[in-house]
Amino acid sequence: MKLFVLLLAAVAAVSADTGRRNYTGIDALRAERPSIIARGIIGTRIVGGNPGDIFDIPYILALIEEDFGFLWQICGAVIISPTRALTAAHCTEWFPDYPLFVRGGSTNSEQGGQLVTVASLVDHPAYDPYTLDNDISVLRLAEPLNVALPGMSAIGMPTQGAGTAVGTMARVSGWGALYEGHPGTEFLRYVYVPVISNAECNVLNGGGITPGMICAGFPEGGRDACQGDSGGPLTAGNQVIGIVSWGWGCARPNLPGVYARLFILFVAVATISADTDIRSYTGLDALIAERTSVSTRANISNRIVGGNPGIIEDIPYILAMIASYPDGTFSHFCGAAIISATRALTAAHCTGVYALDRMYVRAGSINTQQGGQLVRIANFFNHPAFDRYTLNNDISVLHLEESLNLALPGISTIGMPIQGAGTAAGTMARVAGWGALYEGHIGHENLRYVMVPIITNAQCSTSYYGQITAGMICAGYSEGGRNSCERDSGGPLTSGNLVIGIVSWAEGCARPNLPGVYARVAHYRNWIDTNM
Mean pLDDT of 204-229: 78
How many domains are there within the chain?
2
Q: Give the pLDDT confidence of 427-481 residue by residue, as tens digits.
A: 999 998 886 544 444 445 678 888 999 999 999 998 887 889 999 999 988 776 5
Check: CB of residue 388 under 8 Å from CB of residue 349.
yes
**How confident is the model at residue 219, as a pLDDT?**
81
Nearest to 470 by CA among 380, 352, 343, 385: 385
Instruction: Name the residue with higher pLDDT: 306 or 421.
Output: 421
Q: Which of 256, 276, 296 is the last residue of a domain?
A: 276
Q: Say if residue 317's pLDDT is above 50.
A: yes
- Rounded alpha-carbon distances, angstroms, from residue 120 to 101, 117, 137, 272, 492: 11, 9, 10, 10, 33
Nearest to 272 by CA among 157, 138, 141: 138
Q: Let me know if residue 350 belongs to a domain.
A: no
Instruction: Name the residue with higher pLDDT: 449 or 234.
Output: 234
d(CA 292, CA 458): 41
**Residue 134's pLDDT band (cuts 50, 70, 90):** confident
Average pLDDT over the chain reads 76
**How confident is the model at residue 344, as a pLDDT?**
98
Chain center to CA of 432: 24
Cis check: omega of the bond before 51, within 30 degrees of 0: no
**Residue 130's pLDDT band (cuts 50, 70, 90):** confident
Q: What is the DSSP string of 111-136?
A: SSSEEEEEEEEEE-TT--TTT-TT--
Q: What is the DSSP string of 316-357?
A: TTEEEEEEE-TTS-EEEEEEEEEEETTEEEE-GGGSSSS-GG
Which residue range is the domain that position 87 belongs to? 1-276
Query: Which range, of 4-8, 80-84, 133-137, 231-235, averages the lowest pLDDT?
Result: 4-8
Contacts of 56 (CB under 8 A, 6+ apart): none
Q: Give the pLDDT confidence of 29-52 residue by residue, as tens digits.
A: 333 222 222 222 222 235 556 788
Q: Let me know if residue 422 belongs to a domain.
A: no
**How confident is the model at residue 262, as a pLDDT?**
79
**How confident is the model at residue 175, as a pLDDT?**
81
Check: CB of residue 402 under 8 Å from CB of residue 341.
no
**How confident is the model at residue 520, as a pLDDT?**
98
d(CA 483, CA 509): 7
What's the start-to-end Cα distance of the chain, in Å?
Answer: 48
Instruction: Name the residue with higher pLDDT: 361 or 246.
Output: 361
> What pTM was computed for the model?
0.50
**How confident is the model at residue 222, as a pLDDT?**
61
- Rounded alpha-carbon distances, angstroms, from residue 45 to 41, 119, 176: 10, 26, 2
Nearest-5° Cα angle at 321, 491 to 119: 100
Annotated active-site residue 387? The verdict is: no
Q: Which of 255, 276, 297 is the last residue of a domain?
A: 276
Q: Let me know if residue 289 belongs to a domain.
A: no
Instruction: Name the residue with higher pLDDT: 495 or 15.
Output: 495
* 72: CATH: 2.40.10.10
**How confident is the model at residue 387, as a pLDDT?**
85
Check: CB of residue 483 under 8 Å from CB of residue 450.
yes
Q: Give the pLDDT confidence of 392-406 residue by residue, as tens digits.
A: 999 999 999 999 999
Q: What are phi and psi of 414, to 5 degrees?
A: -125, 150
**Residue 347's pLDDT band (cuts 50, 70, 90):** very high
Q: Let me know if residue 532 belongs to a domain.
A: no
**How confident is the model at residue 5, as a pLDDT?**
24
Instruction: Calculate what percentage of the chain has a pLDDT beyond 70.
Output: 73
Mean pLDDT of 410-423: 97
**How confident is the model at residue 161, as a pLDDT?**
63
Contacts of 6 (CB under 8 A, 6+ apart): 30, 129, 130
SS3 10: helix
Instruction: Name the residue with higher pLDDT: 346 or 438.
Output: 346
Using the 8-state DSSP alphabet, how is residue 90 labeled? G
Nearest-5° Cα angle at 26, 23 to 28: 110
d(CA 201, CA 198): 5
Q: Which of 253, 276, 299 is the last residue of a domain?
A: 276
Catalytic residue among 230, 273, 365, 484: 230
Q: Give the pLDDT confidence of 360-416 residue by residue, as tens digits.
A: 999 999 998 899 999 999 999 999 999 877 789 999 999 999 999 999 989 999 999
Annotated active-site residue 153? The verdict is: no
Nearest to 110 by CA among 64, 57, 179: 64
Instruction: Name the residue with higher pLDDT: 280 or 66.
Output: 66
**How confident is the model at residue 298, as a pLDDT?**
22
d(CA 342, CA 363): 12
Q: Give the pLDDT confidence of 154-179 residue by residue, as tens digits.
A: 988 876 667 788 989 999 888 865 54
Catalytic residue among 123, 133, 135, 277: 135
Mean pLDDT of 238-266: 78
Nearest to 75 by CA among 144, 131, 136: 136
Q: Give the pLDDT confidence of 108-126 residue by residue, as tens digits.
A: 888 899 999 999 888 887 7
**Residue 186's pLDDT band (cuts 50, 70, 90):** low
Q: Let me know if residue 320 belongs to a domain.
A: no
Q: Say if residue 417's pLDDT is above 60.
A: yes
Q: Let me know if residue 375 belongs to a domain.
A: no
SS3 521: helix
Annotated active-site residue 97? The verdict is: no
Phi-psi region of 427 (alpha: psi -120 to 50; beta: other; left: phi over 0): beta
Q: Let me know if residue 168 belongs to a domain.
A: yes
Instruction: Name the residue with higher pLDDT: 465 or 306.
Output: 465
Q: Let me know if residue 288 belongs to a domain.
A: no
Using the 8-state DSSP alphabet, how is residue 415 labeled? B
Q: Say if residue 286's pLDDT is above 50.
A: no
Q: Bridge-partner residues for 309, per DSSP?
A: 448
Q: What is the C-alpha radius of gyration for the chain, rounded to an integer number of angstroms?
A: 25
Instruction: Name the residue with higher pLDDT: 458 or 281.
Output: 458
Check: CB of residue 175 under 8 Å from CB of residue 244.
no
**How confident is the model at residue 60, as a pLDDT?**
95
d(CA 291, CA 324): 12
**How confident is the model at residue 481, as a pLDDT?**
57
**How confident is the model at residue 426, as a pLDDT?**
94
Catalytic residue among 27, 81, 90, 224: 90
Q: Say if residue 92's pLDDT is above 60.
A: yes
